[in-house]
């Protein structure tokens, strides 16, 4: 490669020795340096003509959407688990069915249960019948996909087993032409991440060699339990894999509407000029769930709403809403800007007592069904202090957002499942229609992420008639109406991106750590307070009254969803 | 005017919800307005007529120019299958009885689709319009009043668009995108391809050719060879491009088989690699006989030799061969693309072949096989292709570059 480039010798830097004064005169030009504009232009053009074109696969131009990932093996750890069957396998099947995976593709399922290939395939088929987003299954697509599934039994604590895994992968490369490209997908319990990563490193499965193909690793959330554990995990992963090989998944980032946020903000002219403290009064972000903790009592007891949703989904949404435009649409440019937002979140929530509200649901009614309180759920401490609701007032101390509060909230057993970002604009500076007694509400832009993905803009309009009555109306864009087909599942998007080496929608180590550094002080402050008076909201309501007070004391209120 | 009773609607199955006839543009406009002002869009469920909620949605105007009834039927069916993803106001225009008096007959329909069980129906309009006599020659005058302003206009011309006719150019002037299928043009298709390139260069309209879209997996397969850093240096050192295509004409007469697709392969490579055309495509003859430019249909060519051209990268020539092989595959289908590159005494040879629903890539470096890979290349129907044509960026580099290079490869009109 280097042989095709002409080496241009750099002129020696003109530098004074450290103990001598800098010479007053500018450094003399090299004797042959062009002095006139013409000479300069000709010398540049001459140089350019003699310079070999940089090596670039120009045939790739314009083929971005046609790109098929390299031949590869996806090694799925935790293949018999719930996540693999509900999300990963249906996504893989859908990608295969739509010809988005390479022909030379294999899925090596890793688990501890004693399956053979056929038994595992039967299980996968049963899961797809239940969870595939396109039913009925396409028999031809399924049978060709099934041929590419192998099952490999492995106990993660068994070192020798990883040697066998390396041999199995080499064999697959030979048989299936997968060329040493491997995507390791950790869909296991988080406690097993470190061990698996270390074992992969021990047997050299992380090594990217010139002819050995690429190696990447996808790690599911939660990435750590707090800042310290996240740093430790980052360190352990970093001992084996380079950061560029690591894909930390937060499936929210793969959702169509979340991806559309970037297009909406940076692909349109009309919104960005308003996207700042001058026009925006405040921002509200809600990630509401009507379900409880289901069968995950033990997990949730250790997690709570702040770790389960605020640390990742909510802060990711804040980043995407508040970030500056990246210079390019490349992974690191995008993530650099997101990290800047997290770093600018004001005061690091030094006073959680006044800026953060926590709650826990008691018994109540949701969707016409009576549901138990959190403390009555299975595997939950009857005196649990785990929060199932959290609301916070964040500020972002930068030029664009200074003084604009970002109110975020998330909770279990809320009246409905709704995720929405609302940009509340300021009121008009002069109330021209005050006399009519019908001053319209300030403009509002609501970005609905689920359900009914779409965007709504509220503005004032005159009511038809002889008078001058004004009313707020909405302009509504619904994904489901403008594009009435299903969007790809977030996992399809993210797995395909990982196979193609595009990390834009994955979180980087520093992003994860910054997010934890916001959550840790909150959790620590709670730990030092008196026990909360839980439960403090009924299932089927929008959280404790303190969440409303968080806004009410500034003359605001949560949007009614 | 009829407002057909709807039956319970199945998810993602377009259902006819409204149908009316009109005999003038003004009447069509009235019917369009009436569909959405009528409060009695009803559906019959379990024998009871009930009101349902229907939202009108259009993201574009789609105009289909069908010169024959069967083309109109096929076009309308294709668009109906796209209602879900691209609900559009669709205008299917046919001409009839060109020498008779002017008349218009239109059927105005609303088709609705239920995206999900819990969602309101989404409806879009289709206007099937037949224009007789002089009216049928003034397409622009028919279409312009019926398009929804401010929405993009895509014209799909499944037949042979007359790129030099005034009437067609007037129609194209109201459009943002023109969709054609060069692989269905008569003869070898190259004259019309040249005309289209001229048209595209002189206007702002984005031209999208199914013939080029069909080859996307071939392009992906060929591009993938040079993703390998070991092979990338050869990319700028191509010396030979050979494209083999299927013909049903056992005489091998190249003028009788549409070769737009094979020519596009060469044109795409030439445009991406900035190869200039030194000698346009001409019939290849054995040494000692003079070459004439592209063969005239009916003149028996030298069997199996095909067309040759010479490109140049500024330092060396790149020889091009486009040759027919009698095959049971559809006529004009690309069967094989071979590339030969030479660099500093080393040779890279790539062979890309069609195999059922796959494209098979093999690469040899100095005679040693170094790469083998397959790509899925399932046959694509008009629904797929139209969908991609609509979703492609307005002026994509692949399309505009390949079209420009194709015109240069075909050569100036005088050579035809």
pLDDT of B58-111, one tens digit each? 778 899 998 888 888 888 888 877 776 777 889 999 888 888 888 889 999 888
% chain A with pLDDT above 70: 87
Partner-chain contact B222 A59, CB within 8 Å: yes
For residue range A25-59, list pLDDT tens digits in order: 444 455 566 677 777 776 666 555 445 556 888 99
The per-residue pLDDT for A12 is 42
Mean of the per-residue pLDDT values of chain A? 86
Structure tokens at B264: 């596009």
The answer to whether residues B212 and B402 touch, using CB atoms and an 8 Å cutoff, is yes
Residues of B within 8 A of A53 (CB-CB) are 236
Cα distance from A196 to chain B (closest Cα, Å)? 30
Residues of B within 8 A of A485 (CB-CB) are 12, 84-85, 115
Q: B205 to each of A42, B174, B198, how far by Cα in Å?
A: 39, 9, 12
In this prediction, does ipTM exceed 0.90?
no
Partner-chain contact A103 B227, CB within 8 Å: no
What is the secondary structure of A269-337 as a DSSP string?
SSSGGG-STTTEEEEEEEEE-SS--TT-HHHHHHHHHIIIIIIIIIHHHHHHHHPPPPSSSSHHHHHHH
Q: How far apart are CA A129 and CA A138, in angstroms?
A: 10
Q: Helix, strand or coil for residue B162?
A: coil
Q: How far apart are CA B71 and CA B218, in angstroms?
A: 28
Compute the average pLDDT of residues A506-524.
93
Q: Helix, strand or coil for residue A536?
A: coil
Q: Among A66, A97, A136, pick the best mutation site for testing chain B contact (most B Cβ within 10 A).
A: A66
Question: What are the beta bridge partners of residue B343?
Answer: B346
For residue range A209-237, list pLDDT tens digits in order: 666 689 999 999 889 999 999 999 999 99
- Alpha-helical regions (H) of A501-559: 509-528, 545-552
- Strands, DSSP E only, in A5-104? 72-77
The answer to whether residues A284 and A558 touch, using CB atoms and an 8 Å cutoff, is yes
Structure tokens at A222: 């939660």
Q: Clarify whether A61 is annotated catalytic.
A: no
Among the ranges given (B203-207, B287-291, B407-411), the one the predictor scored with the smallest mean pLDDT: B287-291
Q: Which residue has the tokens 């995950």?
A: A296
For residue range A111-139, list pLDDT tens digits in order: 999 999 999 999 999 999 999 988 899 99
Q: How many residues does chain A have?
A: 561
Partner-chain contact B226 A71, CB within 8 Å: no
B156 contact partners, CB below 8 Å, separation of at least 6: B62, B63, B64, B65, B75, B179, B180, B386, B389
Partner-chain contact A485 B115, CB within 8 Å: yes
Residue B120, Cβ density class (10 Å: 0-12 exposed, 13-18 middle, ≥19 buried): middle
The answer to whether residues B191 and B416 touch, using CB atoms and an 8 Å cutoff, is yes
Residues of B within 8 A of A104 (CB-CB) are 373-374
Partner-chain contact B57 A60, CB within 8 Å: no
Cα distance from B384 to chain A (closest Cα, Å)? 12
The enclosing H or E element of A449 equals strand A444-450
Q: Which residue has the tokens 């398009």?
A: B147
Q: Cβ atoms within 10 A of the Cβ of B268, count?
A: 26
Structure tokens at A310: 């605020």
Partner residue opposite B87 with nearest CB, options A56, A68, A484: A484
Q: How confident is the model at residue B2 (pLDDT cuts 50, 70, 90)?
A: very low
For residue range A326-348, list pLDDT tens digits in order: 998 888 999 999 999 999 997 55
Q: How far apart are CA A498 and CA B17, in angstroms?
A: 44
What is the secondary structure of B75-125 as a DSSP string?
HHHHHHHTTTTS-EEEEEEEEE-TTS--EEEEEEEEEEEBSSTTS-EEEEE
Residues of A within 8 A of B226 (CB-CB) are 57, 59
Q: Among B9, B80, B272, B362, pick the best mutation site for testing chain A contact (most A Cβ within 10 A).
A: B272
Angle among Cα A214, A215, A216 to the nearest 5 degrees reads: 120
The per-residue pLDDT for A485 is 58
Instruction: Give the up-direction half-sphere exposure of residue B347: CA atoms within 13 A in the CB hemisphere.
Output: 10
Closest CA to A205 of A182, A174, A179: A182
Closest CA to A65 of B250, B91, B223, B63: B223
Interface of A with B in 1-30 (CB under 8 A): 1, 4
The per-residue pLDDT for B393 is 60
Quick one: closest CA in B to A71, which residue?
B373
Q: How distant is the alpha carbon of residue A520 from its chain centre?
A: 20
Cα distance from B268 to chain A (closest Cα, Å)? 9
What are B367-372's contacts with CB under 8 Å, separation 24+?
A: B370/B230, B370/B231, B371/B225, B371/B228, B371/B231, B372/A177
The per-residue pLDDT for A21 is 45
Q: Among B86, B220, B388, pick the best mutation site for testing chain A contact (most A Cβ within 10 A).
A: B220
Angle among Cα A21, A23, A24 to the nearest 5 degrees reads: 115
Q: How confident is the model at residue A10 (pLDDT cuts 50, 70, 90)?
A: very low
Angle among Cα A528, A530, A532 to the nearest 5 degrees reads: 115
The per-residue pLDDT for A8 is 36
Quick one: closest CA in B to A105, which residue?
B374
Interstrand relation of A369-371 and A364-366 (parallel, antiparallel or unpaired)? antiparallel
Determine contact: A49 vs chain B, CB below 8 A: no
Q: How far apart are CA A405 and CA A387, in angstroms?
A: 23
Instruction: Give the up-direction half-sphere exposure of residue A504: CA atoms within 13 A in the CB hemisphere.
Output: 16
Residues of B within 8 A of A481 (CB-CB) are 55, 57, 87, 115, 119-120, 122
Angle among Cα A364, A366, A372 to the nearest 5 degrees reads: 40
Interface of A with B in 50-69 (CB under 8 A): 53, 55-63, 66-68
DSSP state of A69: P
B48 contact partners, CB below 8 Å, separation of at least 6: none
The enclosing H or E element of A445 equals strand A444-450
Task: List phi, psi (to 5°) of A297.
Answer: -55, -50
Residues of B within 8 A of A174 (CB-CB) are none
Q: Among B11, B15, B123, B226, pick the best mutation site for testing chain A contact (most A Cβ within 10 A).
A: B226
Interstrand relation of A369-371 and B334-343 (parallel, antiparallel or unpaired)? unpaired
Residues of A within 8 A of B12 (CB-CB) are 484-485
Partner residue opposite A485 with nearest CB, options B59, B84, B376: B84
Instruction: Say which of A313, A430, A431, A557 is annotated catalytic.
Output: A313
The per-residue pLDDT for A3 is 32
Partner-chain contact B223 A60, CB within 8 Å: yes
Interface of B with A in 352-391 (CB under 8 A): 358, 372-376, 378
Q: How far apart are CA A415 and CA A399, in angstroms?
A: 37
- Pick the more confident residue, A42 or B143: B143
Closest CA to A291 of A126, A446, A450, A134: A450
Partner residue opposite A63 with nearest CB, options B122, B223, B235: B223
Interface of A with B in 465-504 (CB under 8 A): 480-485
Closest CA to A497 of A200, A76, A216, A145: A216
Partner residue opposite A484 with nearest CB, options B85, B229, B233: B85
Q: How far apart are CA A469 and CA A434, in angstroms?
A: 10
The enclosing H or E element of B212 equals helix B210-213
The per-residue pLDDT for A137 is 92
Question: Between A315-322 and A331-344, two packed helices, what is the crossing angle to 10 degrees?
Answer: 100
What is the secondary structure of A133-167 as a DSSP string?
SS-S--HHHHHHHHTTEEEEE--TT-HHHHHHHHH
Compute the average pLDDT of residues B156-164.
92
Partner residue opposite A103 with nearest CB, options B222, B227, B374: B374
Size of interface A-B (CB pairs under 8 A): 94
- Strands, DSSP E only, in A42-131? 72-77, 105-111
Partner-chain contact B375 A55, CB within 8 Å: no
Partner residue opposite A57 with nearest CB, options B227, B358, B374: B227
Residue A52, Cβ density class (10 Å: 0-12 exposed, 13-18 middle, ≥19 buried): exposed
Q: How far apart are CA A170 and CA A164, in angstroms?
A: 10
Task: List phi, psi (to 5°) of A282.
Answer: -165, 170
Residues of A within 8 A of B397 (CB-CB) are 61-62
Q: How far apart are CA B241 and CA B336, in angstroms?
A: 11
The pTM of this model reads: 0.78
Q: Is the pLDDT of residue A166 over 70?
A: yes
Compute the average pLDDT of residues B389-415.
82
B208 contact partners, CB below 8 Å, separation of at least 6: B177, B178, B179, B180, B389, B392, B399
For residue range B182-233, list pLDDT tens digits in order: 999 999 999 999 999 999 998 889 999 999 998 888 999 999 999 888 899 9
Residues of A within 8 A of B55 (CB-CB) are 481
What is the secondary structure of B283-326 as a DSSP string?
E---TTS---BSPPTTS---TTT-EEEEEE-SSSEEEEEEEEEE
The enclosing H or E element of B334 equals strand B334-343
% chain B with pLDDT above 70: 84
């Amino acid at each position: 490669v280097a042989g095709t480039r002409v080496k241009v010798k750099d002129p020696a830097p003109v530098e004074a020795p450290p103990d001598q004064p800098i010479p007053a005169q500018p450094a003399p030009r090299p004797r042959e340096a062009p002095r006139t504009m013409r000479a300069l232009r000709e010398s540049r053009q001459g140089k350019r003509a003699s310079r070999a074109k940089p090596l670039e696969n120009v045939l790739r131009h314009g083929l971005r959407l046609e790109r098929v990932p390299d031949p590869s093996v996806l090694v799925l750890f935790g293949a018999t688990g719930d996540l693999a069957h509900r999300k990963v396998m249906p996504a893989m099947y859908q990608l295969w069915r739509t010809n988005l995976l390479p022909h030379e593709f294999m899925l090596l399922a890793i688990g501890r249960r004693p399956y053979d290939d056929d038994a595992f395939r039967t299980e996968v088929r049963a899961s797809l019948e239940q969870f595939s987003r396109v039913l009925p299954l396409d028999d031809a697509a399924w049978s060709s996909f099934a041929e590419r599934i192998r099952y490999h039994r492995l106990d993660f604590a068994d070192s020798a087993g990883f040697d066998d895994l390396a041999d199995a992968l080499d064999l697959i490369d030979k048989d299936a032409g997968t060329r040493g490209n491997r995507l390791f997908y950790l869909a296991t319990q988080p406690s097993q991440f470190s061990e698996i990563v270390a074992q992969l490193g021990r047997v050299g499965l992380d090594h990217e060699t010139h002819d050995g193909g690429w190696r990447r690793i996808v790690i599911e959330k939660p990435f750590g339990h707090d800042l310290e554990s996240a740093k430790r995990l980052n360190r352990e992963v970093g001992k084996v894999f380079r950061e560029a090989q690591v894909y930390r998944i937060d499936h929210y980032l793969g959702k169509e509407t979340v991806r559309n946020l970037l297009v909406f903000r940076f692909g349109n002219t009309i919104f960005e000029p308003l996207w700042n403290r001058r026009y925006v009064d405040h921002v509200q972000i809600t990630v509401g769930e009507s379900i409880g903790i289901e069968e995950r009592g033990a997990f949730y007891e250790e997690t709570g709403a702040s770790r389960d949703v605020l640390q990742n989904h909510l802060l990711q949404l804040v980043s995407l809403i508040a970030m500056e435009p990246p210079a390019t649409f490349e992974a690191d440019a995008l993530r650099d800007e997101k990290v800047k937002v997290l770093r600018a979140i004001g005061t690091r929530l030094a006073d959680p007592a006044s800026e953060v509200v926590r709650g826990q649901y008691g018994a109540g009614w949701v969707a016409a069904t009576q549901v138990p309180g959190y403390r009555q759920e299975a595997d939950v401490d009857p005196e649990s202090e785990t929060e199932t609701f959290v609301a916070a007032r964040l500020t972002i101390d930068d030029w664009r957002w200074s003084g604009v509060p970002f109110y975020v909230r998330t909770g279990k057993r809320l009246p409905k499942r709704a995720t929405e970002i609302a940009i509340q604009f300021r009121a008009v500076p002069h109330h021209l229609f005050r006399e009519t007694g019908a001053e319209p509400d300030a403009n509002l832009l609501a970005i609905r992420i689920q359900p009914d993905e779409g965007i709504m803009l509220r503005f004032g309009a005159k009511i038809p008639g002889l008078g001058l009555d004004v009313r707020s109306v909405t302009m509504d864009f619904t994904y489901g109406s403008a594009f009435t087909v299903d969007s790809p599942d977030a996992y399809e998007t993210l797995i395909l991106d990982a196979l193609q080496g595009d990390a834009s929608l994955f979180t980087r180590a520093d992003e994860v750590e910054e997010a934890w550094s916001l959550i840790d002080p909150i959790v620590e402050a709670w730990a030092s307070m008196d026990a909360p008076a839980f439960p403090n909201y009924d299932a089927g309501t929008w959280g404790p009254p303190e969440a409303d007070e968080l806004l009410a004391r500034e003359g605001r209120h949560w949007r009614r969803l | 005017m009829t407002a057909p009773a709807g039956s319970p609607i199945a998810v993602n199955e377009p259902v006819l919800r409204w149908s009316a006839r009109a005999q003038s543009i003004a009447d069509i406009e009235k019917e369009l307005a009436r569909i959405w002002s009528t409060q009695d869009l009803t559906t019959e469920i379990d024998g009871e007529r009930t009101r349902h909620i229907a939202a009108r949605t259009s993201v574009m105007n789609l105009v289909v120019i069908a010169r024959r009834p069967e083309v109109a039927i096929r076009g309308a069916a294709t668009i109906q299958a796209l209602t879900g993803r691209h609900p559009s106001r669709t205008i299917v225009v046919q001409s009839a009885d060109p020498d008779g008096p002017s008349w218009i007959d239109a059927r105005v329909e609303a088709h609705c689709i239920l995206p999900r069980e819990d969602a309101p129906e989404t409806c879009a309009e289709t206007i099937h319009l037949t224009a007789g006599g002089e009216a049928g020659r003034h397409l622009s005058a028919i279409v312009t009043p019926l398009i929804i302003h401010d929405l993009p206009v895509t014209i799909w011309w499944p037949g042979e668009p007359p790129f030099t006719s005034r009437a067609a150019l007037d129609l194209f002037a109201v459009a943002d995108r023109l969709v054609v299928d060069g692989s269905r043009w008569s003869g070898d298709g190259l004259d019309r391809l040249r005309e289209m390139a001229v048209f595209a260069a002189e206007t702002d309209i984005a031209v999208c050719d199914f013939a080029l879209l069909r080859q996307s997996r071939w392009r992906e397969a060929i591009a993938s060879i040079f993703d390998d850093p070991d092979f990338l240096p050869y990319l700028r050192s191509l010396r030979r491009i050979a494209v083999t295509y299927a013909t049903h004409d056992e005489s091998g007469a190249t003028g009788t088989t549409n070769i737009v697709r094979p020519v596009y392969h060469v044109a795409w490579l030439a445009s991406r690699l900035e190869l200039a055309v030194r000698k346009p495509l001409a019939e290849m003859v054995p040494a000692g006989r003079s070459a004439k430019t592209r063969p005239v249909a009916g003149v028996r060519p030298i069997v199996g030799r095909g067309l040759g051209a010479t490109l140049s990268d500024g330092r060396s020539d790149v020889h091009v061969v486009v040759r027919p092989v009698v095959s049971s595959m559809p006529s004009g289908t690309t069967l094989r693309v071979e590339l030969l590159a030479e660099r500093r005494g080393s040779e890279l040879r790539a062979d890309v072949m069609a195999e059922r629903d796959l494209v098979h890539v093999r690469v040899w470096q100095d005679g040693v096989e170094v790469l083998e890979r397959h790509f899925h290349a399932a046959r694509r129907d008009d629904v797929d292709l139209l969908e991609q044509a609509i979703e492609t960026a307005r002026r994509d580099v692949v399309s505009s570059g390949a079209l420009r290079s194709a015109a240069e490869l075909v050569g100036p009109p005088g050579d035809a």
